[in-house]
Protein backbone atom coordinates (compact mmCIF):
# COMPACT_ATOMS: atom_id res chain seq x y z
CA UNK A 1 0.00 0.00 0.00
CA UNK A 2 1.39 3.41 -0.92
CA UNK A 3 1.48 5.74 2.05
CA UNK A 4 1.58 9.50 2.13
CA UNK A 5 4.28 10.06 4.73
CA UNK A 6 5.66 13.28 3.37
CA UNK A 7 6.60 15.88 5.96
CA UNK A 8 5.17 19.36 5.57
CA UNK A 9 6.77 22.64 6.62
CA UNK A 10 4.87 25.30 8.53
CA UNK A 11 5.04 27.35 5.31
CA UNK A 12 2.60 24.89 3.78
CA UNK A 13 0.09 25.51 6.57
CA UNK A 14 -2.28 28.44 6.09
CA UNK A 15 -1.59 30.93 8.91
CA UNK A 16 -4.39 33.36 9.77
CA UNK A 17 -3.83 36.21 12.20
CA UNK A 18 -7.00 36.68 14.23
CA UNK A 19 -8.27 38.39 17.38
CA UNK A 20 -10.20 36.57 20.09
CA UNK A 21 -12.97 37.90 22.31
CA UNK A 22 -12.19 35.61 25.25
CA UNK A 23 -9.17 33.61 26.34
CA UNK A 24 -10.37 31.21 29.03
CA UNK A 25 -13.14 28.65 28.65
CA UNK A 26 -14.71 26.78 31.54
CA UNK A 27 -13.40 23.24 31.51
CA UNK A 28 -14.38 19.87 32.88
CA UNK A 29 -11.14 18.19 31.85
CA UNK A 30 -9.25 17.94 35.17
CA UNK A 31 -8.92 21.72 35.29
CA UNK A 32 -11.11 24.76 35.88
CA UNK A 33 -10.32 26.58 32.64
CA UNK A 34 -8.82 25.78 29.27
CA UNK A 35 -6.70 28.08 27.17
CA UNK A 36 -5.82 27.55 23.52
CA UNK A 37 -3.64 30.29 22.00
CA UNK A 38 -4.12 28.80 18.52
CA UNK A 39 -6.98 27.23 16.61
CA UNK A 40 -5.86 24.33 14.45
CA UNK A 41 -2.65 22.37 14.77
CA UNK A 42 0.18 21.90 12.32
CA UNK A 43 1.31 18.59 13.85
CA UNK A 44 -1.30 16.89 11.70
CA UNK A 45 -1.74 13.74 13.79
CA UNK A 46 -3.77 11.28 11.80
CA UNK A 47 -5.84 10.26 14.81
CA UNK A 48 -6.64 13.77 16.04
CA UNK A 49 -10.22 14.21 17.17
CA UNK A 50 -9.93 17.94 17.99
CA UNK A 51 -11.80 18.89 14.79
CA UNK A 52 -14.75 16.82 16.02
CA UNK A 53 -14.60 18.35 19.51
CA UNK A 54 -14.35 21.88 18.13
CA UNK A 55 -16.74 21.20 15.22
CA UNK A 56 -14.10 22.63 12.90
CA UNK A 57 -15.03 22.25 9.25
CA UNK A 58 -11.71 23.28 7.71
CA UNK A 59 -9.16 20.58 6.96
CA UNK A 60 -7.33 19.94 10.27
CA UNK A 61 -3.55 20.16 9.99
CA UNK A 62 -3.70 22.58 7.07
CA UNK A 63 -4.40 25.84 8.90
CA UNK A 64 -3.52 27.65 12.10
CA UNK A 65 -5.35 30.66 13.47
CA UNK A 66 -3.02 32.79 15.56
CA UNK A 67 -5.01 34.60 18.28
CA UNK A 68 -2.77 37.65 18.26
CA UNK A 69 -4.42 39.49 21.16
CA UNK A 70 -4.83 36.52 23.52
CA UNK A 71 -2.13 37.55 26.05
CA UNK A 72 -3.88 40.91 26.56
CA UNK A 73 -7.37 39.34 26.73
CA UNK A 74 -6.04 36.78 29.21
CA UNK A 75 -4.47 39.48 31.40
CA UNK A 76 -7.85 41.23 31.63
CA UNK A 77 -9.71 38.01 32.42
CA UNK A 78 -7.24 36.98 35.13
CA UNK A 79 -8.11 40.15 37.04
CA UNK A 80 -11.75 39.05 37.25
CA UNK A 81 -11.68 35.23 37.31
CA UNK A 82 -11.72 33.14 40.43
CA UNK A 83 -8.37 31.39 40.96
CA UNK A 84 -8.34 27.94 39.36
CA UNK A 85 -6.19 25.53 37.38
CA UNK A 86 -5.69 26.34 33.72
CA UNK A 87 -5.01 23.71 31.10
CA UNK A 88 -3.17 24.91 28.02
CA UNK A 89 -3.50 22.81 24.91
CA UNK A 90 -6.76 20.94 25.36
CA UNK A 91 -7.55 20.96 21.60
CA UNK A 92 -4.30 22.12 19.98
CA UNK A 93 -0.59 21.90 20.72
CA UNK A 94 0.47 25.20 22.34
CA UNK A 95 4.07 24.56 21.20
CA UNK A 96 3.33 23.80 17.58
CA UNK A 97 5.54 25.43 14.92
CA UNK A 98 3.72 28.78 14.90
CA UNK A 99 4.70 29.33 18.54
CA UNK A 100 8.34 29.72 17.49
CA UNK A 101 7.43 32.94 15.75
CA UNK A 102 4.34 34.25 17.57
CA UNK A 103 5.22 33.31 21.18
CA UNK A 104 1.60 33.49 22.34
CA UNK A 105 1.96 30.56 24.75
CA UNK A 106 5.09 32.12 26.22
CA UNK A 107 3.37 35.46 26.73
CA UNK A 108 0.31 33.78 28.28
CA UNK A 109 2.56 31.86 30.69
CA UNK A 110 4.06 35.12 31.88
CA UNK A 111 0.58 36.42 32.66
CA UNK A 112 -0.35 33.23 34.51
CA UNK A 113 2.88 33.36 36.49
CA UNK A 114 2.27 36.98 37.50
CA UNK A 115 -1.21 36.12 38.78
CA UNK A 116 -0.10 32.79 40.26
CA UNK A 117 -2.62 30.58 38.44
CA UNK A 118 -1.66 26.86 38.55
CA UNK A 119 -1.12 25.65 34.99
CA UNK A 120 -1.05 22.32 33.16
CA UNK A 121 0.44 22.19 29.67
CA UNK A 122 0.18 19.26 27.27
CA UNK A 123 2.45 19.10 24.26
CA UNK A 124 4.40 16.93 21.85
CA UNK A 125 7.00 19.60 21.19
CA UNK A 126 10.51 20.19 22.48
CA UNK A 127 10.01 23.91 21.77
CA UNK A 128 8.73 24.06 25.35
CA UNK A 129 12.38 23.96 26.50
CA UNK A 130 12.63 27.59 25.38
CA UNK A 131 10.30 28.57 28.27
CA UNK A 132 11.87 26.43 30.99
CA UNK A 133 12.89 29.49 33.02
CA UNK A 134 9.29 30.70 33.21
CA UNK A 135 7.94 27.22 33.92
CA UNK A 136 10.39 26.52 36.72
CA UNK A 137 9.37 29.79 38.37
CA UNK A 138 5.62 29.10 38.39
CA UNK A 139 3.08 26.49 39.52
CA UNK A 140 3.15 24.47 36.31
CA UNK A 141 3.41 20.88 35.28
CA UNK A 142 3.91 19.57 31.80
CA UNK A 143 2.42 16.53 30.12
CA UNK A 144 4.36 15.06 27.20
CA UNK A 145 2.51 12.87 24.75
CA UNK A 146 4.69 10.00 23.59
CA UNK A 147 2.92 7.28 21.68
CA UNK A 148 5.90 5.01 21.04
CA UNK A 149 9.70 4.87 21.15
CA UNK A 150 9.56 3.89 17.49
CA UNK A 151 10.02 7.01 15.38
CA UNK A 152 8.64 5.24 12.31
CA UNK A 153 5.33 5.01 14.16
CA UNK A 154 5.58 8.74 14.85
CA UNK A 155 6.35 9.50 11.19
CA UNK A 156 3.32 7.55 10.09
CA UNK A 157 0.72 8.75 12.57
CA UNK A 158 2.09 12.13 13.78
CA UNK A 159 4.00 13.17 10.65
CA UNK A 160 4.63 16.81 11.51
CA UNK A 161 5.13 16.47 15.25
CA UNK A 162 8.69 16.51 16.66
CA UNK A 163 10.71 13.26 16.68
CA UNK A 164 10.48 11.08 19.80
CA UNK A 165 14.16 11.65 20.66
CA UNK A 166 13.51 15.42 20.81
CA UNK A 167 10.58 14.90 23.16
CA UNK A 168 12.65 12.69 25.46
CA UNK A 169 15.43 15.23 25.56
CA UNK A 170 12.89 17.97 26.36
CA UNK A 171 11.55 15.92 29.28
CA UNK A 172 15.08 15.65 30.65
CA UNK A 173 15.68 19.37 30.17
CA UNK A 174 12.51 20.27 32.06
CA UNK A 175 13.13 17.80 34.86
CA UNK A 176 16.72 19.05 35.28
CA UNK A 177 15.27 22.50 35.96
CA UNK A 178 12.75 21.20 38.50
CA UNK A 179 9.61 21.28 36.34
CA UNK A 180 7.08 18.51 37.09
CA UNK A 181 6.52 16.26 34.07
CA UNK A 182 4.00 13.50 33.43
CA UNK A 183 3.60 11.45 30.28
CA UNK A 184 0.63 10.48 28.21
CA UNK A 185 0.93 7.30 26.14
CA UNK A 186 -1.90 7.58 23.72
CA UNK A 187 -3.64 6.78 21.68
CA UNK A 188 -2.96 3.07 21.95
CA UNK A 189 -3.42 1.48 18.55
CA UNK A 190 -4.35 -2.23 18.77
CA UNK A 191 -1.55 -4.42 17.40
CA UNK A 192 0.58 -1.35 16.64
CA UNK A 193 2.00 0.53 19.61
CA UNK A 194 0.51 -1.51 22.46
CA UNK A 195 2.85 -4.50 22.58
CA UNK A 196 3.53 -5.09 26.30
CA UNK A 197 7.33 -5.33 25.91
CA UNK A 198 7.42 -2.11 23.90
CA UNK A 199 5.25 -0.38 26.49
CA UNK A 200 7.49 -1.61 29.30
CA UNK A 201 10.54 -0.23 27.49
CA UNK A 202 8.75 3.08 27.03
CA UNK A 203 7.73 3.14 30.69
CA UNK A 204 11.31 2.39 31.84
CA UNK A 205 12.64 5.16 29.60
CA UNK A 206 10.12 7.68 30.90
CA UNK A 207 10.73 6.75 34.54
CA UNK A 208 14.50 6.95 34.04
CA UNK A 209 14.02 10.56 32.90
CA UNK A 210 12.09 11.34 36.08
CA UNK A 211 8.52 11.36 34.72
CA UNK A 212 6.20 11.35 37.72
CA UNK A 213 3.02 9.82 36.32
CA UNK A 214 2.09 7.88 33.19
CA UNK A 215 -1.41 7.93 31.71
CA UNK A 216 -2.68 5.79 28.87
CA UNK A 217 -5.66 6.06 26.57
CA UNK A 218 -6.96 3.94 23.73
CA UNK A 219 -7.50 5.05 20.18
CA UNK A 220 -10.98 6.53 20.04
CA UNK A 221 -12.57 6.10 16.66
CA UNK A 222 -14.72 8.68 14.94
CA UNK A 223 -16.12 8.25 11.49
CA UNK A 224 -13.87 10.88 9.92
CA UNK A 225 -10.77 9.46 11.60
CA UNK A 226 -11.49 5.93 10.41
CA UNK A 227 -11.70 7.09 6.81
CA UNK A 228 -8.20 8.61 7.02
CA UNK A 229 -6.62 5.92 9.16
CA UNK A 230 -7.51 3.16 6.74
CA UNK A 231 -5.07 4.72 4.27
CA UNK A 232 -2.27 4.06 6.78
CA UNK A 233 -3.16 0.52 7.83
CA UNK A 234 -2.65 -2.81 6.10
CA UNK A 235 -5.57 -5.05 5.14
CA UNK A 236 -5.21 -7.41 8.11
CA UNK A 237 -5.18 -4.53 10.61
CA UNK A 238 -8.18 -2.89 8.94
CA UNK A 239 -10.14 -6.14 9.37
CA UNK A 240 -9.10 -6.42 13.02
CA UNK A 241 -10.08 -2.80 13.68
CA UNK A 242 -13.47 -3.33 12.06
CA UNK A 243 -14.11 -6.08 14.64
CA UNK A 244 -12.85 -3.96 17.53
CA UNK A 245 -14.55 -0.68 16.66
CA UNK A 246 -17.59 -1.74 14.72
CA UNK A 247 -17.98 -5.41 15.68
CA UNK A 248 -18.01 -7.40 18.90
CA UNK A 249 -14.29 -7.78 19.73
CA UNK A 250 -13.82 -6.55 23.34
CA UNK A 251 -10.10 -5.99 22.71
CA UNK A 252 -9.63 -3.05 25.05
CA UNK A 253 -11.46 -4.75 27.91
CA UNK A 254 -9.14 -7.73 27.51
CA UNK A 255 -6.05 -5.52 27.36
CA UNK A 256 -6.91 -3.06 30.12
CA UNK A 257 -5.29 -5.13 32.91
CA UNK A 258 -2.06 -5.16 30.94
CA UNK A 259 -2.14 -1.42 30.31
CA UNK A 260 -2.80 -0.85 34.02
CA UNK A 261 0.68 -2.27 34.73
CA UNK A 262 2.22 0.57 32.73
CA UNK A 263 0.29 3.52 34.16
CA UNK A 264 -3.17 4.90 34.83
CA UNK A 265 -5.64 4.17 32.07
CA UNK A 266 -8.13 6.95 31.39
CA UNK A 267 -10.78 4.91 29.61
Residues that bind ligand SF4 (CB under 6 A): 41, 43-45, 48, 50, 92-93, 124, 161
Nearer to ligand SF4, 78 or 192 (CB): 192
Nearer to ligand SF4, 78 or 123 (CB): 123
> Do residues 43 and 160 touch, judged by C-beta distance below 8 A?
yes
> Do residues 124 and 158 touch, judged by C-beta distance below 8 A?
yes
What is the smallest separation between the CB atom of 248 and ligand SF4, expressed in angstroms? 28
What is the smallest separation between the CB atom of 42 and ligand SF4, expressed in angstroms? 8
Nearer to ligand SF4, 13 or 74 (CB): 13
**Other CB atoms within 10 Å distance of the CB of residue 106:** 18
What is the smallest separation between the CB atom of 65 and ligand SF4, expressed in angstroms? 13
What is the smallest separation between the CB atom of 88 and ligand SF4, expressed in angstroms? 12
**Other CB atoms within 10 Å distance of the CB of residue 212:** 12
Nearer to ligand SF4, 161 or 202 (CB): 161
What is the smallest separation between the CB atom of 203 and ligand SF4, expressed in angstroms? 21
Nearer to ligand SF4, 78 or 91 (CB): 91
Amino acid sequence: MELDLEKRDIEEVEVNITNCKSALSDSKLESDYSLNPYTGCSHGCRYCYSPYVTKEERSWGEFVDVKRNIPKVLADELKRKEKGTIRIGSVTDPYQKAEEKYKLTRRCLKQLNQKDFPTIIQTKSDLIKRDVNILSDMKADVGFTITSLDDDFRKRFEPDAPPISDRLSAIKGLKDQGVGVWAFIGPLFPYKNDDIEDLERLKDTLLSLGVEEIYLDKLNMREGIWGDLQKLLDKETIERYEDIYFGDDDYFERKKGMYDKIGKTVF
